[in-house]
Copies of this chain bind each other. A is one copy, B any other.
Amino acid sequence: MSRFLDEHAAAVRAAAERIRPNVRHTPSLRTDLTPGLRLKAECFQITGSFKPRGAFNAVLSLIERGPRPNGVIAVSSGNHAQAVALAARTVGLPALILIPEDANPAKVAATRALGAEVIQKGITFANREQRLHEVMAERQLTLVHPFDDWDVIHGQGTAALELLQDNFLEGEPGLEVIATPVGGGGLLSGTAISAKSHSASIRVVGVEPASADDAYRSWKAGSIQTLEQAPATLADGVRTTAIGRRNFEVMFEQGLVDEIVTVTEDEIAAAVALAWTRLHLALEPTGALPLAAHMAEKLRGDRAGLILTGGNANLETVAKLLNHP
Look across to chain B and name the residue whose beta carbon is closest to the beta carbon of A44. Answer: B29
Q: Is the CB of B277 within 8 A of A315?
A: yes
Q: Is the CB of B27 within 8 A of A27?
A: yes
The reply on A196 being an interface residue by CB < 8 A is no
Report if A280-B277 is in contact (Cβ < 8 Å); known contacts: A24-B30, A32-B47, A47-B32: no
Q: How many copies of this kind of chain does the complex include?
A: 2
A70–B83 alpha-carbon span in the complex (Å): 58
A299–B279 alpha-carbon span in the complex (Å): 28
**Stretch from A59-67, A262-270, A316-324 contacting the other chain:** A316-324
The reply on A43 being an interface residue by CB < 8 A is yes
The SS class assigned to the A binding surface is: helix
**Measured between C-beta atoms, what is the minimum distance from A2 to chain B in Å?**
36
A318–B276 alpha-carbon span in the complex (Å): 10
The reply on A295 being an interface residue by CB < 8 A is no
By a CB distance below 8 angstroms, the chain B residues around A323 are 316, 319, 323
Q: List 14 other contacts, CB 8 Å, given A41-B280, A277-B282, A280-B281.
A: A24-B30, A27-B27, A27-B44, A30-B44, A43-B280, A44-B280, A276-B282, A277-B313, A277-B315, A281-B282, A315-B322, A319-B322, A319-B323, A322-B322
